[in-house]
Amino acid sequence: MPEREHTPMTKEPDPTPMPKLRILHCFRSPVGGIFRHVRDLINEQVKAGHEVGIICDNNTGGEFENTMFEDMRPKLSLGLHRIAMDRSIGPRDIYVVWKLYREIKALNVDVLHSHGSKGGAYARIIGSFLRIRSKRPIRLYCPHGGSVHYDSGSLGGKLFFALERLMERFTDRLIFVSNYERDGFYSKVGSAHCPDSLVYNGVTEPEFEAVETHQDASDFLYIGMMRNLKGVDVFLDALPIVAEKAGRKISAQLVGDGPDLAAYKERSKSLGDQISVQFHDPMPAREAFGLGKTLVVPSRAESMPYIVLEALAAKRDLIATNVGGIPEIFGPYSSALVPPDDADALAAAMLGHLNNSRVSVDREQFSTRIHEMFSSAAMAESVMEAYRLTLNENNAS
């Protein structure tokens, strides 16, 4: 297998001024970390004078996401293009590719930056059609952890990784948000047809302001997608264990939406009289932080979760599982992480926070670490450097 070319975040950027680019971000689902990542990139790219647009699904997200889109719309000089995109592969994808091809061709973009497997497939196929007669646009793909979460031994996993191997031939550069994601991608996909760049997610300067806890805050808080991959069921199972060992009533609030929300609401009714659970619609993380004293991130799988970065930047008490790129965020403090898919271990950590005996790392220390390593400005600078390298390679070929 040929040696892969890796571009680390620490690479010194080229001092040559970046030409003004026409950049189109393509992704399926405008929710969660991908949407946050794209919004931050767009803010920085527009600030630098580039023209930017978005293509995504029109059936995903709710009022919260629609409000975000309306706030962003004035910045999107290349427009906001929304079309129904199915999560799974199907015959309708042919129609979607044709429709998007016509829209993207008219935009005459320099950069097609795709995020997630479905958006990545659409953008790279269309970008390859466009390049038959031109060297434009360059095709970049960021998996955002999706491919790493598949079981390589399953039939679905084998099919998915075969498709990823095929699609990598239509990719000019891969961008990974964590070493975990990069290593997992190559161990499962196993190909090496293009270079890659490692670019950590980052948070903005205002997010380093501490958030005050509400006077009536619950003991514990969950913020994120309502699906089993995020371990919400494990969090609910841990609550009665904590209540029993603490010998008192325990309260929790959950913020978010997702496919398993109805099941979690039903499950919460059987947790017992010692457990008080409230559910809330999606809201900005900093608005939600004050609802609980300790944030719990009980995920079974992650890549580089924004919610962990946001919470630590805002000096919140946090319990997280030892999965994905979370150890890269915690660094020397990774011993504080909890094994995934283990309600007893999670309950023990929660009990420790309840008794103020498990908070092993100073909030200020954590916030300083996040500021040094995970800023949105550094993220955007590293992405733009990935564009520069890819444009140079494309022009030289």
DSSP 26-55: EES--SHHHHHHHHHHHHHHHHTT-EEEEE
Confidence of residue 107 (pLDDT cuts 50, 70, 90): very high
Per-residue pLDDT tens for 135-168? 789 999 998 766 665 666 777 667 777 888 888 8
Contact 116, 29 (CB under 8 A): yes
Domain 6-202+375-396 has CATH 3.40.50.2000: yes
Which string of b and e fits 264-288 if b means at least 16 CB within 10 Å? Answer: beeebeebeebbbbebeebeebbeb
Per-residue pLDDT tens for 337-369? 999 999 999 999 999 999 875 555 677 888 888
**Of 94-98, 170-174, 190-194, 265-269, the least confident:** 190-194
Q: What's the pLDDT score for residue 272?
A: 93
Q: Give the whole-angstrom CA distance, residue 287 versus residue 275.
A: 23
**Of 115-124, 161-170, 205-214, the least confident:** 161-170
Instruction: State the distance between the two ends of the chain, measured CA to CA, in whole angstroms.
Output: 22
Per-residue pLDDT tens for 26-49? 999 898 889 999 999 999 999 999
Q: What's the pLDDT score for residue 3?
A: 44
Confidence of residue 2 (pLDDT cuts 50, 70, 90): very low
Confidence of residue 287 (pLDDT cuts 50, 70, 90): very high
Confidence of residue 14 (pLDDT cuts 50, 70, 90): low
Task: Choose between 296 and 333: higher pLDDT.
Answer: 296
Range 72-87 average pLDDT: 94
Mean pLDDT of the chain: 89
Report phi then psi at 258, rounded to 5.
Answer: 160, 180
Q: Report domain extents, the chain.
A: 6-202+375-396, 206-373
Contact 150, 396 (CB under 8 A): no
The tokens for 40 are 């931050």
Q: Which CATH number fits domain 206-373: 3.30.70.590, 3.40.50.150, 1.10.940.10, 3.40.50.2000?
A: 3.40.50.2000
Same fold, 6-202+375-396 and 206-373: yes
Range 70-95 average pLDDT: 92
Q: What are the CA-CA distances from residue 47 to residues 40, 50, 234 (Å)? A: 11, 7, 42
Q: What's the pLDDT score for residue 37?
A: 93
Q: Which helix (H) or strand (E) holds 114?
A: strand 111-115
